[in-house]
Amino acid sequence: MRCLPQSSAIASLSAIVLFLASGCGTSKIVQCNSVIEIANGAVEEAKKLTNEGQTNEPQAMLQAADAMEQASRNMQALELSDETLQKFQTGFITMYTETSGATRTFVEAFDKKDRPGAEAALANLQRATQPEQELVNGINGYCQGK
């Protein structure tokens, strides 16, 4: 009868070791999903607010800038242990922050009827969003193991 408690103890110990080995950190898949969820949410919100980027309404553009700032905060709040995902996280944060700032500058110049300022802000906005495709392709490839 003594073998039964020992077997239970070994099984319990094995379960604890497995839990500690896998439970201490968040898996790569979970971390990937967290980053991708925020990125997809930011894109969807911006598209919705700006009518797929077709709006010329300053208020809608400011709401999109707010959405980018929120996405930046959400991305910053993620606690990622995977170094590669941390690099993607930093890239998204930078892009969202720069996009938001350039959008606000554009709206301000637009409201003031400052054409050179608006053109410069538009160029900054285009530069700020330029890394998007590379970030999306990179994280998708990494998270799919390609």
Q: What is the pLDDT along the chain (146 residues), one digit of tens a residue?
A: 444 344 333 433 333 333 333 444 579 999 999 999 999 999 999 999 988 888 889 999 999 999 999 999 999 999 999 999 999 999 999 999 999 999 999 999 999 999 999 999 999 999 999 999 999 999 999 999 86
The overall pTM is greater than 0.75: yes
Cα dist from 124 to 6, 52, 95, 99, 108, whole Å: 67, 19, 11, 8, 14
Half-sphere exposure of 74 (CA within 13 A, CB side): 16
Note the pLDDT of residue 48.
93
65 and 108 in contact (C-beta within 8 Å)?
A: no
User: What is the spatial distance between Cα 127 and Cα 120, in angstroms, rounded to a whole number?
Assistant: 11
Q: Do residues 64 and 50 make contact, with C-beta atoms less than 8 angstroms apart? A: yes
Please check whether residue 75 is in contact with residue 35, taking contact to mean a CB–CB distance below 8 angstroms: yes
Neighbours of 33 (CB within 10 A): 13
Query: In 24-131, which residue ranges form alpha helices assigned H by DSSP?
Result: 28-49, 58-77, 83-111, 115-129
